[in-house]
């Protein structure tokens, strides 16, 4: 009985570990979708613009803004990886234009001007420009 139960427990533990590993791997299994990726990135840029603006107008604490930007960086790191290789992407000309407008916005997300000395307004403008372009491309 004791032996049977321990075998059963081992099988249970193995099943659980295999399933967890499979599901963790599955976090990236959602297929590429140009419209969805463009919309998600556009929304993230819009959020980053508002965060930066709110931080400099005193509506947000610096700590909150810094932590929020970590989230945008995490979210957009996957976008930067997937977007150029998206098989459902539009013509190469349109894609180049989107990547060109996204580049300064991605830089702003990676290195946001949370201090008063740097040009945060320019970053807000580039973030909003990229957001509008991507949301339009995503059909929103």
Indicate whether 64 belongs to the interface with other proteins (CB under 8 A).
yes
What's the closest the beta carbon of residue 119 comes to other proteins, in angstroms? 21
3-state secondary structure of 119: coil
Q: Which of residues 13-42 bind other proteins (CB under 8 A)?
A: 15-16, 19-20, 23-24, 26-27, 29-31, 35-37, 39-40, 42
Binding of other proteins at residue 80 (CB under 8 A)?
no
The minimum distance between CB 41 and other proteins, in angstroms, equals 10
Alpha-carbon span 127 to 125, nearest angstrom: 5
Q: Cα separation of 55 and 116, whole Å?
A: 10
**Which residue in 31, 33, 30 sits closest to 41, CA to CA?**
33
The count of chain residues that interact with other proteins, using the rule CB under 8 A, is 46
Is residue 51 close enough to count as binding other proteins by CB under 8 A? yes
x/- map, 81-120, other proteins, by CB under 8 A: ----------------------------------------
DSSP string covering 68-92: HHHHHHHHHHHHHHHGGG-TT---H
For residue 137, how many other CB atoms are within 10 A of its CB?
22
Q: Measured on CA atoms in the order 32, 133, 104, 109, is the torsion positive or negative? A: negative
Q: Which residues bind other proteins (CB under 8 A)?
A: 8, 12, 15-16, 19-20, 23-24, 26-27, 29-31, 35-37, 39-40, 42-44, 46-47, 50-51, 54, 58-64, 66-72, 74-75, 131, 135, 139-140
């Amino acid at each position: 009985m004791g032996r049977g139960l321990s075998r059963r427990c081992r099988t249970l533990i193995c099943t659980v570990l295999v399933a967890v590993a499979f599901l963790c791997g599955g976090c990236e299994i959602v297929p590429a979708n140009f419209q969805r990726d463009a919309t998600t990135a556009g929304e993230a840029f819009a959020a980053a613009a508002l965060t930066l603006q709110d931080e400099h107008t005193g509506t947000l604490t610096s700590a909150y803004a810094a932590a929020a930007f970590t989230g945008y960086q995490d979210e957009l790191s996957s976008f930067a990886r997937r977007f150029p290789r998206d098989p459902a992407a539009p013509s190469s000309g349109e894609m180049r234009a989107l990547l060109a407008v996204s580049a300064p916005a991605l830089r702003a997300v990676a290195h946001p001007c949370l201090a008063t000395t740097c040009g945060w307004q320019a970053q807000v403008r580039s973030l909003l420009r990229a957001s509008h372009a991507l949301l339009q491309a995503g059909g929103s």
